[in-house]
Amino acid sequence: MKILIFLLGLLSFNAFSQSYTFSGKRYYISYQMKEDVQEIRLEGTVFSSVVEDLSGFKKVQKLLKNGVNVKLILHSHGGLQSLYNDLSDSIRKACDSRYSSCRITTYVSSASTCESACIPLFMAGDSRRAGRSATFGFHQATVIPGSFKIYGKAENDLYEAGVDKAWLDLHKGMFDTVQLTVMNPEDLEGSNIVTKIVD
């Protein structure tokens, strides 16, 4: 009987306070289930799809609960776009608005940056918040580690993620080079990237 009570208590504890952290070669990812929100934190750069770097992403994807609000906190220089897209797709699937009132909030604080492949992941948010001195970085898509350029891919990926087409056309010069163009939230006015500046 005591063993059964212990097991029930353990299951109950895990259901309400589940957390996970992982450090890859150049990045850190964590998952924490709080009272009414799943908080995911991603810091660093993810260039590799080797097992070591995939494992943190895969574990977080498995921990995601359907229909529970998600807060995604980012400080990332980007990396391999397909990994960021996979995480974004998993979050959207867990919070599919057709079946729940679940909301996704993405956040880049004033001390943080979201560059390159991070930006389409940031766009997964229904609410996309940024600190006033947060930075966002754009450049032309390349094959990692920059072996050759892929013309039009960066703009198309951002357009499909919800970035305004007219804004992309106005700033198309920054997608002609692999050099990073850095902007703050006020520079992004009209882009539909940041929906609210929070500090």
Would you kindly state where each structural domain of the chain is located, as residue ranges?
19-197
- pLDDT of amino acid 128: 98
**Structure token digits, residue 138:** 């754009």
CA distances (Å), 197 to each of 2, 75, 126, in order?
52, 16, 14
Distance CA 169, CA 16 (A): 46
- Whole-model pTM: value is 0.86
> Are 90 and 62 within 8 A, CB to CB?
no
* pLDDT recorded at residue 40: 98
CATH architecture of 19-197: Alpha-Beta Complex (3.90)
| Structure token pair of residue 101 | 């009132």
Buried b (16+ CB within 10 A) or exposed e, 178-199: eeeeebbbeebeebbbbeebee
Q: What is the pLDDT of residues 73-87, one digit of tens each?
A: 999 999 888 889 999
* pLDDT confidence of residue 134: 98
Round to whole Å and give the CA distance between 181 and 105: 25
| Whether the predicted pLDDT of 11 surpasses 50 | no
- Please provide residue 90's backbone torsions phi and psi, each rounded to the nearest 5 degrees: -65, -40
Out of 8-12, 116-120, 195-199, least confident range: 8-12
Tell me: pLDDT of 5 over 70.
no
Report, as an integer, the average pLDDT of 110-125.
95
Neighbours of 146 (CB within 10 A): 10
| pLDDT-above-90 percentage for the chain | 63
Q: What is the pLDDT of residues 36-60, one digit of tens each?
A: 999 999 999 987 666 566 788 899 9
| DSSP single-letter state for residue 7 | H
Q: What is the pLDDT of residues 146-167, one digit of tens each?
A: 667 788 889 999 999 999 999 9
Predicted confidence at residue 147, as pLDDT, reads 65
- Tally of CB atoms within 10 A around 28: 15
